[in-house]
């Protein structure tokens, strides 16, 4: 029986990169998205094709759900239950940046509420629902909750303070659930990507090109969705069995302080 992963925000970008790496390993997938059904369907068929190219037959199903909406989260879990009947990994990846980058002294409550709702409330309550389901269905198979936060959990950006606050809040989810779920054989991990080439960063490409060229990151290149996907693949292969509540920086060394 193949393992199953539910990946939020997997139609594009980092979530898609994670889905492709898990497909190579032969995992069945639920590809969640918010609006872009066409992209989600394409990602799902690409996953099935790449698995086949590696000699594995998988099923990748796609499901629309806004993670910030309670009924949508319930429907997403129900879809996963009805489609596959079990789950070995939840990847909380869906997240948004502010619609407009604004100085810290100008950010609006509306933008703050939107980011807290999608970036924090969504993953927290989806994790709660999936954790309950996992606990109700005990198994010897290792299981994991992976949450994609950001280097912004620790890095100040004065033109998107509400994003930094949301990612710092999200960071607490991993140690909390690690302590609660370890006894049920469920490990939790936080992934902190740095500068990754996706739609989210396409509008600031030139700025980041210049910063990377100037030596901002010790590994002097943009990160790719596949870089993040490979970290999830390591977790999926149970290569970190005695680590939980752990944070992995996937940022080319950006987090290193230098003098």
How far is it, in rounded angstroms, from Cα 74 to Cα 60? 19
Please report how close the Cβ of residue 124 comes to ligand NAP at its closest, in angstroms. Answer: 14
How far is it, in rounded angstroms, from Cα 83 to Cα 61? 8
Please report how close the Cβ of residue 55 comes to ligand NAP at its closest, in angstroms. Answer: 28
Taking contact as CB under 6 A, which single stretch among the options 53-61, 126-134, 190-198, 235-243 is the one that binds ligand NAP? 190-198
Question: Would you count residue 162 as binding ligand NAP (CB under 6 A)?
Answer: no
54 touches 21 (CB < 8 A):
no
Place of tokens 């509420």: 113
Question: Would you count residue 29 as binding ligand NAP (CB under 6 A)?
Answer: no
Taking contact as CB under 6 A, which single stretch among the options 53-61, 77-85, 181-189, 194-202 is the one that binds ligand NAP? 194-202
Question: Would you count residue 229 as binding ligand NAP (CB under 6 A)?
Answer: no
| CB nearer ligand NAP, residue 59 or residue 154 | 154
Question: Would you count residue 19 as binding ligand NAP (CB under 6 A)?
Answer: no
Q: 99: which residues sit within 8 A by CB, 6+ positions away?
A: 111, 114
Q: Which of 163, 189, 208, 242 is catalytic?
A: 163
Task: Report which of 59, 33, 63 is spatially closest to residue 47, judged by C-alpha positions.
Answer: 59
Please report how close the Cβ of residue 1 comes to ligand NAP at its closest, in angstroms. Answer: 27
Question: Would you count residue 127 as binding ligand NAP (CB under 6 A)?
Answer: no
Question: Would you count residue 90 as binding ligand NAP (CB under 6 A)?
Answer: no
Task: Report which of 61, 58, 70 is spatially closest to residue 6, judged by C-alpha positions.
Answer: 61
Taking contact as CB under 6 A, which single stretch among the options 2-10, 54-62, 134-142, 172-180 is the one that binds ligand NAP? 2-10
Distance in angstroms between the alpha carbons of the first and the last residue of the chain:
51
What counts of helices (H) and strands (E) characterise the chain? 10, 7
Binding mask 45-84 for ligand NAP (x = CB under 6 A): ---------------------xxx----------------
Task: Report which of 239, 233, 228, 227 is spatially closest to residue 25, judged by C-alpha positions.
Answer: 233
Instruction: Tell me if residue 189 is catalytic.
Output: no
How far is it, in rounded angstroms, from Cα 248 to Cα 148? 10
How far is it, in rounded angstroms, from Cα 259 to Cα 138? 49
116 touches 166 (CB < 8 A):
yes
Catalytic residue numbers, as ranges: 163
Q: Interface residues with ligand NAP (CB under 6 A)?
A: 8-15, 32-36, 39, 66-68, 93-96, 118, 148, 150-151, 193, 195-196, 198-201
């Amino acid at each position: 029986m193949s393992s199953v992963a539910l990946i939020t925000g997997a139609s594009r970008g980092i979530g898609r990169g994670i889905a492709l790496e898990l497909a190579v390993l032969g995992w069945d997938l639920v590809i969640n998205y918010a609006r872009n059904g066409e992209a989600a369907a394409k990602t799902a068929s690409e996953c099935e094709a790449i698995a086949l190219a590696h000699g594995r037959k998988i099923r990748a199903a796609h499901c629309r759900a806004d993670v910030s909406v309670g009924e949508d989260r319930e429907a997403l879990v129900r879809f996963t239950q009805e489609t596959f009947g079990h789950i070995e990994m939840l990847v909380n990846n869906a997240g948004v940046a502010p619609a407009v980058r604004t100085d810290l002294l100008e950010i609006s409550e509306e933008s703050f509420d939107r980011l807290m709702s999608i970036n924090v409330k969504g993953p927290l309550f989806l994790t709660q629902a999936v954790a309950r389901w996992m606990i109700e269905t005990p198994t010897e198979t290792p299981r994991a909750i992976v949450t994609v936060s950001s280097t912004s959990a620790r890095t100040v950006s004065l033109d998107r303070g509400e994003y930094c606050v949301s990612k710092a809040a999200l960071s607490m989810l991993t140690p909390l659930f690690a302590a609660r779920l370890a006894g049920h054989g469920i490990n939790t991990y936080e992934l902190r990507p740095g500068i990754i080439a996706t739609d989210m960063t396409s509008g600031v490409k030139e700025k980041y090109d210049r910063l990377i060229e100037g030596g901002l990151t010790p590994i002097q290149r943009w990160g790719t969705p596949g870089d993040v996907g490979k970290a999830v693949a390591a977790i999926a292969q149970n290569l970190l069995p005695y680590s939980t509540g752990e944070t992995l920086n996937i940022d080319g060394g950006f987090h290193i302080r230098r003098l």
